[in-house]
């Protein structure tokens, strides 16, 4: 295993055709580099001249030591972490690659240092975090909801919803409202509504509009904004990010009642409708609803009939890491 730090252009060339998150793309990572606290470092593992593994990191220096993070906090990046691209489908070969890359990465960043905090949230496609656990880090499973749409009609997808969710969508469809895909101005309204929702709950909203604007601009056709209006009045909306595999519910979607009807489900339904009838480049085949780790949100999102899917959070262990996590704003995540 030869581990190298590579440029964004080389990263784009090394990225596989599928199996990555929206924030793994060079376009998104360039924006992250501009807005994150710390320095972006792109690690690529090579066998010969062939890239076989990737991991984007942000390295931050603090009074209590160094943090090596994938993803960095406060930028609304749900997952990032390692990508494996084995040449062989054999399990033995895949495990060997995973061990070698993990060991090379941890050695490169000095993860065994007393004052080094290493933390990564892996994508769902990365299903074997054991090498991190064997190296003394903690591994915790966490979850998302994945709704598959490949080969399914809209009627079939809708039939998988709970009865109450189907009724809610029908009631919203009967209202005289306008639901459409909008541009950066609509994204600003979704952003402001999301920030207001956080404030109503007594929580601070960590993202700046400038970052969201730059990200959506850079992602271009891999980002869409759905807005529901009563005339010209904004009611609710959702910002969706796309990889080659999935649509990701990213911002917005807070429960909104209009004329006694909860209307945010109608926006989710439009995202699904377009995923079937007018998908973006790459034709993703699933909708990632996020929010499966909060009981209050699960009661709603489980109504879509999606599959509960695990992914893993890996981080440095030990008491000495508590101060580091506090300094880097990670304790509440």
What is the model's pLDDT at position 2?
97
Question: What is the distance between the alpha carbons of residues 181 and 201, in angstroms, rounded to a whole number?
Answer: 28
Percent above pLDDT 70 for the chain: 95
- Answer yes or no: is pLDDT of 22 > 90: yes
* Integer Cα distance of 270 and 153 in angstroms: 14
Tokens 């919203």 belong to residue: 172
Contact (Cβ atoms closer than 8 angstroms) between residue 64 and residue 24: no
Residue 331 clears pLDDT 50, i.e. is over it: no
Q: Using CB atoms within 10 A of its CB, is residue 232 exposed (0-12), middle (13-18) or buried (19+)? A: exposed
Task: List the beta bridge partners of residue 330.
Answer: none
What is the per-residue pLDDT across 115-153, written as a single tens digit (0 to 9) for each? 999 999 999 999 999 999 999 999 999 999 999 999 999
Distance of CA 30 to the CA centre of its chain: 16
- 2-137+316-327 matches 145-310 in fold: yes
Among candidate residues 78, 145, 147, 64, the one with its CA nearest the CA of residue 323: 64
DSSP assignment of 245-271 equals SEEEEEEE----EETTEE-HHHHHHHH
Q: Mean pLDDT throughout 35-61?
A: 97
Superfamily of domain 145-310: Gcn5-related N-acetyltransferase (GNAT) (3.40.630.30)
Domain ranges in the chain are: 2-137+316-327, 145-310
Q: Is 22 helix (H, G, I), strand (E, B) or coil?
A: helix
CB-based contacts of 167, cutoff 8 Å, min separation 6: none
Nearest one of 247, 307, 236 to 274, comparing CA atoms: 247
- Is the pLDDT confidence value at 323 over 60? no
Q: Which two tokens stand for residue 248?
A: 């990701």
Q: What mean pLDDT value characterizes the chain?
A: 94
Q: Which CATH architecture has domain 2-137+316-327?
A: 3-Layer(aba) Sandwich (3.40)
State the average pLDDT over residues 60-69. Answer: 90
- Per the CB < 8 A criterion, the answer to whether 78 and 22 are in contact is no
Model confidence pLDDT, tens digit, residues 232-254: 999 999 999 999 999 999 999 98
Average pLDDT estimate for 279-292? 93
What is the band of 333 on the pLDDT scale with cuts at 50, 70, 90? Answer: very low
Q: Kindly report, residue by residue over 308-322, the tens digit of the pLDDT.
A: 999 999 999 965 556
**How far apart (Å, rounded) are the C-alpha atoms in residues 103 and 325?**
23
Q: What is the mean pLDDT of residues 28-44?
A: 98
């Amino acid at each position: 295993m030869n581990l190298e730090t590579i440029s964004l252009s080389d990263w784009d060339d090394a990225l596989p055709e599928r199996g990555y998150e929206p924030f793994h793309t060079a376009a998104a990572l360039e924006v992250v580099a501009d807005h994150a606290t710390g320095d972006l470092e792109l690690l690529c593992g090579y066998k010969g001249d062939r890239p076989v593994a990737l991991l984007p990191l942000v390295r931050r220096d603090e009074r209590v030591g160094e943090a090596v993070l994938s993803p960095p906090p406060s930028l609304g990046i749900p997952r990032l972490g390692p990508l494996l691209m084995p040449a062989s489908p054999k399990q033995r070969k895949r495990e060997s690659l995973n061990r070698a890359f993990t060991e090379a990465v941890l050695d490169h960043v000095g993860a065994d240092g007393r004052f080094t905090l290493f933390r990564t949230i892996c994508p769902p496609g990365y299903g074997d975090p054991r090498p991190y656990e064997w190296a003394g880090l903690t591994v915790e499973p966490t979850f998302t909801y994945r709704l598959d749409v490949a080969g399914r009609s809209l009627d079939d997808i809708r039939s998988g919803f709970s009865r109450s969710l189907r009724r809610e969508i029908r009631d919203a469809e009967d209202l005289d409202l306008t639901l459409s895909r909008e541009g950066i101005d609509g994204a600003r309204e979704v952003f402001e509504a999301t920030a207001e929702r956080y404030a109503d709950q007594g929580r601070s909203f960590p993202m700046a509009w400038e970052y969201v604007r730059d990200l959506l601009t850079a992602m271009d056709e891999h980002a869409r904004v759905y807005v529901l209006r009563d005339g010209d009045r904004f009611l609710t909306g959702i910002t969706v990010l796309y990889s080659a595999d999935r649509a990701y519910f990213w911002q917005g979607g807070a429960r909104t009642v209009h004329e006694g009807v909860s209307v945010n489900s109608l926006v989710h339904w439009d995202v699904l409708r377009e995923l079937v009838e007018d998908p973006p480049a790459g034709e993703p085949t699933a909708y990632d609803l996020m929010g499966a780790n909060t009981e209050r949100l699960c009661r709603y999102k489980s109504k879509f009939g999606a599959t509960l899917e695990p992914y893993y959070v890996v981080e440095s262990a030990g008491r000495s890491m508590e101060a580091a996590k506090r300094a880097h704003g990670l304790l509440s995540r």
